[in-house]
Structure 1
Amino acid sequence: MLNPFLNRVAPGILEILRRRTDTMVRGVGSLVWKIVKTVRHLAKPLPFPGPQGAPMVGVALELDPNTALARMRSWIKHYGKTISFRVFTTTFIATANPDTIKKILKDSNKGLIVRQLNSLNLLPKSGMFLTDGNDWKMNRKTVDPIMAEPNVRGMVPVMSQMANRLVHVTSALADSSGMIHNWEPHTWLQLAALDFTVATHFGKDYNLLSPLGSDGSTDREFVHKTFRDFLEGFDFMLKHIQLAPLMKNRYPFK
């Protein structure tokens, strides 16, 4: 039997109240379930030794961007080479054991997420070796055959040669105090990458990092100009990509 007060309320309003009440009850129940699930997860012990941190937030308050790496190094010294910790509800595992890293790379060659941070912004855009997550998984299928051990064994000496050239370039441009005023790492890395690609794929060493390279052939100038024109065109496309919807189906004489 309805309450006398409810008898004076319009039936339409009662129906709205019932629907809203059901929705509210379901929402509260879902929230309670998530809280219980989170508490149960946080109550589980960490998979490896490590700092416990504060309840609910873990070590989030201890990982300042400027000192996070030093803090994790101190944790590894204190707890061992493999540690675990929580940031809010997410559990992280960090290891400084090279054998563990090799085993993970060997056993998880299809599912491993390798994250390389372009922290110094030396490279302008994310590429095949600067991606993570699903992007990395897709790119890894392309990279795996190239990074096979026999291929890597042949590429390492060339990589060492290119690294030495970069060192010589920076040394030559530095003044007596070691300061480089004409700092263009993007250009140097791009030329070193092109030198590496041509040397490993075509067996030719153009030494593009040196404007006075030993090979002054037409091929060297052609490769350099083609690469430079490609980068200029690609850069122009990126800067004007927002105009693409305006240019669609409006090419002259079309």
Structure 2
Amino acid sequence: MSKNTSHKRLLSSEKKTILVTGANGQLGMTFQKHEDHYPELNFVFMDSNALDITDTMAVKKVFEELRPDYCINCAAYTNVEKAEKDPEKAFLVNASAVEFLAMACKAQSCILIHISTDYVFDGQKTTPYNVNDIPNPINVYGASKLQGELNIKKFLSQYFIIRTSWLYSKEFGKNFYRTILQKAQTEKELHIVDNQAGCPTDAENLMGYILDLIMNRSDNYGIHHFSDKEVMSWYDFAKLILEKNNIQNTTLIKDNSYKTKAKRPVYSVLG
């Protein structure tokens, strides 16, 4: 066996270090749940207490110490309504901090896997958005996430920006799925909007997609769209949640009168 061949084989068998930021969010917790299923990966989970990604020096230090092969950025400011009242905080977490991560990844030759959103689009299409469609966010949250994408592109060539939609976990975090189940325990009627169309996406499936990229050593860098495939409204999703959990004593009422500060895309299906 030649020295070169031996060296390549050694490299291929080395454990990859995966830094997961925002580790206590619903997606980060999903990765933690399945960590033991991937013994060939060395996961390092950091929540905002362990690593404040808005602190550029803290980010730099962690990357210099860990020298991760991949950084999966699950950290984000996701409260769409609050973002309208506090755009500075939304842009700090979703844009500036992402730039700090991109700079650190560049310095350490680390591949960044960043979670973005369907809300970078305005929802005016009637067919699924593809990666070549031009973003046009209509709320602060979407604008901050788009700026995060642009900040990554400014520094990196080896990155995966994964736009997903209506993300939920059945087990972790605060999300639509868990909120419906919680409210159904105490409320006989739930008023749900049905004037937006999208694809609810299980965090388990998004996690699987991301880990496939890593395990297969994909070099198909750039923007990717990933969501579950069933198009529905929030009302449809609520109905499905109740059916799947065999909840029959709660009535759903279609109600589009609820006023929000943030505009939402009417159609944000990703293709």
Structure with greater Cα Rg: 1
TM range (shorter): under 0.3
Q: What TM-score does the superposition give when structure 2 sets the normalisation length?
A: 0.19
**Structure ranking higher in helix proportion:** 1
When normalised by structure 1's length, the TM-score is 0.20
